Structure 1
Amino acid sequence: MSLQSSMIFGFLKTPLETMIQLYTTEVIPHLTKRNKTIGITTAIVLSSIYFIRDTIFKPPRNLRHLPYFGYFSVIRSLMKGESMFDRGYSAHIPLVNARPDGLYVEPGKVGWEVHVSNPEDVKHILLKTDVFPKADFNKGSEFGLLNKFVAGPNVIIISGDHWKSQRKVINPAFRRSMPVKLFGQLTQELFLTIEKLGSTVDVSDLMMRCTLDAIGRAGFGFDFSAIRDSNSHWTTLYNELTEGFRDYKFFIFPALDQSLLWLFPKRKILHQKLDIFMDKLDQVIQSKRNQLSEGHTSNIDLEHERDLLTLMIESEQRGDGALTDLELKSNLCLFFFAGHDTTSSALSFAIYHLAKHPEIQERARAEAIDILGDEPTDILPTAEEIKRMSYINQVMKETLRITGPVPRLGTRIATEDTILSGTFIPKGTSVLISVFNTHHSDKIWHDPETFNPDRFSDEQGAQGWLPFGGGSRLCIGMNFSLNEQRVMISMLLRKYKWSFPEGSSFETELVTSGVPVVAPEGLKMTFKKRY
């Protein structure tokens, strides 16, 4: 079976089985024995033709008042190797900019989805969680690689009272956790690695390693040693899993990762490796619980430098609520995926933009030197100092606008008929907020494809900026990630000047890959020491 055939089969399997079953139980008994074989064959062919014509090529009838992209458009994009950014530029943005409502329909993980980008519509969806609750991310792909990792009982998946009880434990942990000193120490380790590798390094790889160590140590006190050793056991294992999570075809076509997994033996091995990683998390959680129950406190004196797992268990002990081991593990997996991949991509994109625009790099460096001084030695910023980095913060915000690592927010379901930008959206519709479209629409931003940190010198663009979502479900790790970026970028600016190596394709084209998190692919940079 070809790859394209298997993709299509993944979509057709359940509806066709249902049609065949109905035909077998309701129609065949009334046929003569001689005509049964012909009847079954005819039914399958006719049902297939009808289903493909009316479901694959077109959205549901109640959404056909909106422009749409069909399944084969998505498959064609996949076959061409387009990243989510590439597809946004080639297909979505021209349509969004041409329509007042900015709406269109496209098949996604939960079926046909209405993509929304106008800020007022986005705000309405994010604030009206009763009207637009999150779709079941797990439905239909419970045993896919990514879902097994992040689709458990955690704060991004659950809702209602269950969600509120978890936030009661997790919110205080994130408020108390701000390991600025740890971020600085990891950046110093990064400097040592750059020195060993030479002046030209793979930034994409280094940022992945650096943020993996950050989330490991700040998340649950586990040292991957990724910065020092890219081939360490757990680093290699997690990186293999990360590559698997980013594989577009398994995200868009979940059947390939489940009922058709036998077609992909390498993918099956990844599932086995994920089981090993999850077992390791179970061991870490149990060990941490035992240590704290026996009165062994953290050897870190400053509470805000303790790992999140310790802080969450301590919240339980204070009576703020309790999480089961399964809930703790599921949230740690979420912190990994959201805190590692996204921050790694954001840092890589920031380094790219600062190389692309040397004048902006110099201006950001001047601010870092003004705040931290220009002594020829590594300075670890304090929490108070990073709050003063206004221009570096603008660079980060513009990076997250023009190359936000998460192009789309989780799908929601309209529980009642509603109006978005004057357009009727029927009850039961899957609605998806397109961060990429919002961030690149010329109806929202002046000259949206120009990298311009000054657009964030005031709050002018705040309503159209949503890399961390919004409303009550705003990303819980937003400040954690932003502070990690502030520390690393400011320290890099003081230590180095950087530029593209000679002949780099990134000088003319930004090459990206990944889903649902997008990152620059193979970004290399030449660093020149200042001291």
Structure 2
Amino acid sequence: MSLLENSFLKLPLQNAIQLYGDEVVPRLTKRNKVIAIGTAVALSIIYFLRDRVTKPPRKLRHIPYLSYFGVLRSMYYKESVRDRSARVHIPEINSENSNGLFLEVARNGWVLHVANPEDAKRVFLKLELFPKIDLSAERSGTLNSKFTIGPNLPMINGAHWKAQRKVANPAFRRSMPVKLFGQLTQEMFKSMENKGEVYNVSDLMERWTLDAIGIAGFGFDFKSIHNKDSEWVHRYARINEGLRDPIFFLFPYLDTNFRWLFPHRVETHKQTDIFLEMLDEVIKSKKLDLENGVKNNALEENERDLLSLMLESGEEGNGILSNKELKSNLCAFFLAGHDTTANALSYAIHYLAENQGIQEKARQEAISILGDEPCDILPTIEDTKKMTYINQIMKETLRINGPVARTLPRVVQEDIFLSGTFVPKGTLLVVNMFGIQHSNKIWSDPDVFNPDRFSENGEGIRETGEGMAWVPFGNGARQCIGMNFSLNEQRVLLSMLLRKYRWSTPKDSPHKNGIISAGLNVQGPVDLDIAFQKLY
């Protein structure tokens, strides 16, 4: 037996994998690349199975838990979070004996799902008892760590989080660029001219929100509405695809030690580096402008970009963020404000296509607020406050198809009881927002699209009751900071779209008998084609 083989057998498995990557893989020929990849995956799977066994730790086995291999099966078949939640979670939550708590294995081990409004309220309001889990060290060097995991608002805790929130809060309160959203909607209308009547709404909303978050976030125009083949559109699409790859998400070791075996992954990292370098240059340029007293006075206060407002926040005594913190937060704003809003708009357009009466009622509201002149009217902030029924449509869309299915993991800081169930210190926990918003114990006919739930006397009023039943943006102090930003994007685009077009689902649409979604934690409709008819 060689010295290398003997060392390999004596090492703990994690170190053995490291040795395999450093010593064995480099000796393999190009011809054996498939074997190398297979061995790397096998070793990672063994390590995963060894450290996260098929049953929860004994201290948690008094809590109902879902099949370990069922999760792997869903991953293998790339089942969307929405579809798995509807197929597996909802029957568990709705079962007679369920109190809305169950365990399921995830990337970080066994996680307690909280799927009842009362316990969700406690989790959202007790920050010190349920802080976010620290993922920085575990995923260092992965694509997710480059783009997602860093010193940003969604990831940090305690005093660090409070300091950043103090800087970001004023910026988000001041920045509400409804004129920009209206102008981008006009540009989208131009791009739709003379291109037939059927459009891929998923693609259209992805490009519209990319331009919106780029300009409103840090003053960078991706120009994706008119040029879907631009290098920046392809670059961000590639990054987005890479962040959602289930194999590298489940086995981050492949991304750090065996990346070279996956040329597509190597290229994705290169494109991510280019994107991050662009953010670095934008931050430097904005800081230089601020130092030289350069300010775009042509823009109204609410139309200015978030980065400029955060930089100015330091001069106003609200605190200063480092370049690293600024860049990390811009990445977080991108992930929180791009796909989520694009998917919410796509879902809303789908439900309005499927419910012509609701669409027409919403159109009449838009006309009553913006007028019936046969031309594009850009809503003002005051106009958006009057969109009562459109707001109900948005809230029902976010309830039935909220783009995010569950919160980021949190860790319980002391032994507690939730719904009479003992939960030991150190337990990982998520709020299952999809489960809460689809439980028939909370909502009547939860799978039926019904905006009247959120009318003045509708059942949606329970969200302000004993628990929290409508939570697409979370709640409490750590509620999504961009919630109002996103809701105003949706109000502007939907109201203008309703005045300009009437739309329906094509007869041959795969979504005709139910929306088809995809995605890990962030989910959206797949290639949603919609037929539009111009009204002016």
Give the alignment's TM-score, normalised by structure 1.
0.89
Which residue of 212, 215, 218 maps to 1:220? 218
1:21-32 equivalences in 2 (<5 Å): none
1:82-481 equivalences in 2 (<5 Å): 82-98=79-95, 99-458=97-456, 459-462=460-463, 463-481=468-486
Distance (Å, rounded) in 2 between the aligned partners of 1:74 and 1:259? 25
Distance (Å, rounded) in 1 between the aligned partners of 2:193 and 2:340? 26
1:493 counterpart = 2:498: yes
Cα deviation for residue 53 of structure 1 reads 8.1
Distance (Å, rounded) in 2 between the aligned partners of 1:277 and 1:469? 29
Distance (Å, rounded) in 1 between the aligned partners of 2:124 and 2:48? 34
Contact 1:59–1:70 (Cα < 8 Å) also in 2 = no
Helix, strand or coil: the match of 1:104? strand
Cα deviation for residue 118 of structure 1 reads 0.6
Provide Cα deviations, 1:385-423, integer angstroms capped at 9, x if missing partner. 110100100000000000000001011111111111111
Aligned residue pair count: 493
Helix, strand or coil: the match of 1:197? coil
Provide Cα deviations, 1:113-167, integer angstroms capped at 9, x if missing partner. 0111110100111111111111113342122212310211111111111111111
Distance (Å, rounded) in 1 between the aligned partners of 2:516 and 2:192? 23
Helix, strand or coil: the match of 1:493? helix
Cα deviation for residue 231 of structure 1 reads 1.2
1:518 counterpart = 2:523: yes
Q: Which residue does the alignment assign to 2:487?
A: 482
Change (3 A) 1:100 1:191: same
Provide Cα deviations, 1:271-324, integer angstroms capped at 9, x if missing partner. 111011000100011011111211111143311100011111111122221011
Distance (Å, rounded) in 2 between the aligned partners of 1:317 and 1:87? 48
Helix, strand or coil: the match of 1:505? coil
1:502 counterpart = 2:495: no
Cα deviation for residue 52 of structure 1 reads 4.9
Helix, strand or coil: the match of 1:56? coil
Helix, strand or coil: the match of 1:148? helix
Contact 1:126–1:471 (Cα < 8 Å) also in 2 = yes
% same residue: 55
Gaps of 5+ in 1: 1-13, 22-47
Distance (Å, rounded) in 2 between the aligned partners of 1:238 and 1:54? 34
Distance (Å, rounded) in 2 between the aligned partners of 1:67 and 1:122? 18
Distance (Å, rounded) in 1 between the aligned partners of 2:491 and 2:49? 50
Contact 1:247–1:514 (Cα < 8 Å) also in 2 = no
Gaps of 5+ in 2: 1-10, 19-44
Distance (Å, rounded) in 1 between the aligned partners of 2:66 and 2:51? 14
Helix, strand or coil: the match of 2:461? coil
Cα deviation for residue 228 of structure 1 reads 0.9
Contact 2:416–2:422 (Cα < 8 Å) also in 1 = yes
Q: Which residue does the alignment assign to 2:53?
A: 56
Contact 1:355–1:499 (Cα < 8 Å) also in 2 = yes
Contact 1:414–1:430 (Cα < 8 Å) also in 2 = yes
Which residue type is aligned with residue 323 of structure 2?
D
Distance (Å, rounded) in 2 between the aligned partners of 1:231 and 1:19? 44
Give the alignment's TM-score, normalised by structure 2.
0.89
Contact 2:209–2:338 (Cα < 8 Å) also in 1 = yes
Contact 2:92–2:98 (Cα < 8 Å) also in 1 = no
